[in-house]
Amino acid sequence: MQHFFIPAKIHFGTGCIAAHAQDVSAFGTKALIVTGARSALLSGALDAVTTALKEHHIQWELFDEVHENPLLSTVTAGARRFLNSGCDFFIGIGGGSPIDAAKAMSAMAKCTLKGQEIYNASLITDAWPIVAIPTTSGTGTEATPYSIVSDDQRGIKAGVGAPVLFPTISFCDPTFTTSLPQKQTRDTAIDALSHLLEGIYSRKRSTLLYPLIFDGIKRIVTCLPKALEHPEDIDLRHNLMQASLYGGMVIAHTGTTLQHSIGYPLTSELGTAHGLANGVVMQPIMELYYPAVRQELNDLFRWLSMNKDDFYSWLAQFNMKLETPVTDEFTARRAEEVVNSRNMANNPFDVDITTVKALYKSLR
């Protein structure tokens, strides 16, 4: 039995906020707008949102304290701010970090959760309405029931998934991504590519999702190299954003796998950007999983008019390398955390700690 369920209304295309201003403003009387320090302004998304809110006489407050890989302490501060400010819905603007933070704040505020309780999905039974406005083309969080939050006390990055964490509505306007620098364009597109590939690797893979997976990967393979050369090209940005949205829709069903779990410590301990952390392990993970999903990957490569080696050459052009080397001591400490992470249940076969250690070793 297969199923497809994305309970979020999604507007997609240039100018979608202005065209559907009533939808930005439909969920309450005062919004807490959750952003990072610069990108909401730089991308033009904050301006588009506040124009729509003004038009419909909706008030807002700005919480612009979310950093990359949002911290639990930031989520707690945002939830407190929401409750003290008379707000009744959230608008998350940015990459995955501010949108995931807004999702977690929303559940924390609604369910009166404290600290690490946010990682307990069974406690996340309700949330305030969440409007998601991506300014990167990577996480697909605009279409997922997940929020990834780093626990500053335990020093680990972890995710939680609950149906109420799907955004109520998402506005995907590719023009907001034209301000993305080259590195973030690459890293975020590689994150989207990971999600799409993981739709093939996952034990929960479903042929219902294959049209999205195949189409999304082709868009990235064709458009990412060109977008790095022509960052202002809206058509290329449109393709990358569509691929990212598809990636979100896919992992909403299949979850992520070792491809993501192994990257989390690279981010939480070594500061590697999320997409880059996925990128450096993409080839070794594909080699590991290839025997288990040979037919699916061969179908994909045929669709891309490539073979596996061509795909690896395509990947190599992005020169993805860790800035801080992985040491034996890091591997010994972190491999167990990887094996125990939530997404490991989705791998195409059981992966043991020896395999995880060997993968880290291959990164040196």
Q: Which residues in this chain contact Fe ion in the complex, by CB under 5 A?
A: 191
> Which among 110-118, 137-145, 336-344, 348-356 is the span making contact with ligand NAP, rule CB under 6 A?
137-145
Using CB under 6 A as the binding rule, whether residue 177 contacts ligand NAP is answered as yes
Using CB under 6 A as the binding rule, whether residue 346 contacts ligand NAP is answered as no
Of 156, 61, 58, 138, nearest to 102 by C-alpha is 61
Using CB under 6 A as the binding rule, whether residue 43 contacts ligand NAP is answered as yes
Using CB under 6 A as the binding rule, whether residue 142 contacts ligand NAP is answered as no
CB 43 within 8 A of CB 172: no
Shortest separation between residue 239's beta carbon and ligand NAP, angstroms? 16
Q: What are phi and psi of 307, to 5 degrees?
A: -115, 180
Using CB under 6 A as the binding rule, whether residue 259 contacts ligand NAP is answered as no
Using CB under 6 A as the binding rule, whether residue 170 contacts ligand NAP is answered as no
Select 100 or 337, whichever has its Cβ closest to Fe ion.
100
**Cα–Cα dist 303/247, whole Å:** 17
CB 311 within 8 A of CB 304: yes
Shortest separation between residue 139's beta carbon and ligand NAP, angstroms? 4
Helix axis angle for 210-229 and 234-254, nearest 10°, is 140
**Cα–Cα dist 192/24, whole Å:** 25
**Cα–Cα dist 344/340, whole Å:** 7
**Cα–Cα dist 211/205, whole Å:** 12
- Residue identified by tokens 């933070």 is 101
- Per CB under 6 A, contacts with ligand NAP among 263-322 are 274-275
Select 269 or 308, whichever has its Cβ closest to ligand NAP.
269
Select 98 or 348, whichever has its Cβ closest to ligand NAP.
98
Shortest separation between residue 278's beta carbon and Fe ion, angstroms? 6
Using CB under 6 A as the binding rule, whether residue 68 contacts ligand NAP is answered as yes
Distances (CA, A) of 119 to 56, 114, 337: 36, 10, 15
Cα atoms found within 13 Å of the Cα of residue 81, Cβ hemisphere only: 22
Select 180 or 236, whichever has its Cβ closest to ligand NAP.
180
Residue 97 binding partner per list ligand NAP, Fe ion, none, with a CB distance cut-off of 5 to 8 Å that depends on partner kind: ligand NAP
Burial of 179 (0-12, 13-18, 19+ CB in 10 A): middle
Using CB under 6 A as the binding rule, whether residue 36 contacts ligand NAP is answered as yes
Using CB under 6 A as the binding rule, whether residue 138 contacts ligand NAP is answered as yes
Distances (CA, A) of 99 to 85, 102, 140, 142, 290: 19, 5, 10, 8, 33
**Cα–Cα dist 86/75, whole Å:** 17
Return the residue of 148, 196, 300, 338 that touches ligand NAP, per CB under 6 A. 148
Residue 50 binding partner per list ligand NAP, Fe ion, none, with a CB distance cut-off of 5 to 8 Å that depends on partner kind: none
Shortest separation between residue 104's beta carbon and Fe ion, angstroms? 16
Return the residue of 147, 170, 343, 347 that touches ligand NAP, per CB under 6 A. 147
Shortest separation between residue 77's beta carbon and ligand NAP, angstroms? 16
DSSP, residue by residue, 199-237: HHHSTT--GGGHHHHHHHHHHHHHHHHHHHH-TT-HHHH
Residue 216 binding partner per list Fe ion, ligand NAP, none, with a CB distance cut-off of 5 to 8 Å that depends on partner kind: none
Distances (CA, A) of 21 to 13, 24, 99, 130, 228: 14, 5, 19, 15, 31
Return the residue of 76, 188, 239, 257 that touches ligand NAP, per CB under 6 A. 188
Please tell me whether residue 49 adopts helix, strand or coil conformation: helix
Using CB under 6 A as the binding rule, whether residue 10 contacts ligand NAP is answered as no
CB 171 within 8 A of CB 20: yes
Return the residue of 42, 77, 228, 234 that touches ligand NAP, per CB under 6 A. 42
Using CB under 6 A as the binding rule, whether residue 106 contacts ligand NAP is answered as no
Using CB under 6 A as the binding rule, whether residue 183 contacts ligand NAP is answered as no
Binding site for ligand NAP (CB under 6 A): 36-39, 42-43, 68-69, 94-98, 100, 135-136, 138-141, 144, 146-148, 176-177, 179-180, 184, 188, 191, 274-275
